[in-house]
Amino acid sequence: MSLFRYTKTNSHGFLIPQSSYMKTLFDRSTNDEIIERLHTLTPQATNRWGKMNVSQMLGHLDLSFQANFGIIKLNRDLLLSTIFKPVAKRILLGGKPFPKNMPTDKKLLPKQPLDFFDEQKKVLAMIAKYATEGPGIICSNPHNILGKISPEQSAFISYKHVDHHLRQFGA
């Protein structure tokens, strides 16, 4: 049984999974919503939880998009991809938002000081690619925890990831 029911297409004709929470960045209206929320962030935004400041969070999102697009490759997380895979799958592909203070791959944590406006611009461009380029933008590398997933599942996880961090900073 498929995780998604496909009931509409976006402006490029790509099938969009539909449910009460299953938004993806391939959907133009969802993409626009996220871009609008990103524009509400300021360099002074403070986190409601976690350790990252707003610039680091944007750098983290940029790195995660680079992994989705195959620009950087993440190593398989042996513990999460075996013993905890059912739990990770329920969190990543389930209908609920991500919980606070989830661990992240160290490759997805920016190492140098970051400029807010530079990082915001990069993230906005990466998000726009989902709606303009569609599923072909997603690399075929296996997910570091879930293994083989569809581009639609990847775009759903990406939506939940961005939403998680925007909520973290009140956007």
pLDDT in tens, the chain (171 residues): 344 544 455 555 555 555 445 789 999 999 999 999 999 999 999 999 999 999 999 999 999 999 999 999 999 888 888 888 889 889 999 989 999 998 889 999 999 899 999 999 999 999 999 999 999 989 888 898 998 999 999 999 999 999 999 999 999
Instruction: Say how many domains are in the chain.
Output: 1
User: What SS3 state is found at 63?
Assistant: helix
What contacts 164, CB < 8 A, 6 or more positions away?
97, 98, 102
Cα(7)–Cα(9) distance, rounded to whole angstroms?
A: 7
Cα(38)–Cα(7) distance, rounded to whole angstroms?
A: 27
- Domain containing 73: what range? 5-168
Q: What is the pTM of this model?
A: 0.86
For CA atoms 40, 44, 49, 51, the dihedral sign is: positive
How far is CA 122 from its chain centroid?
A: 14
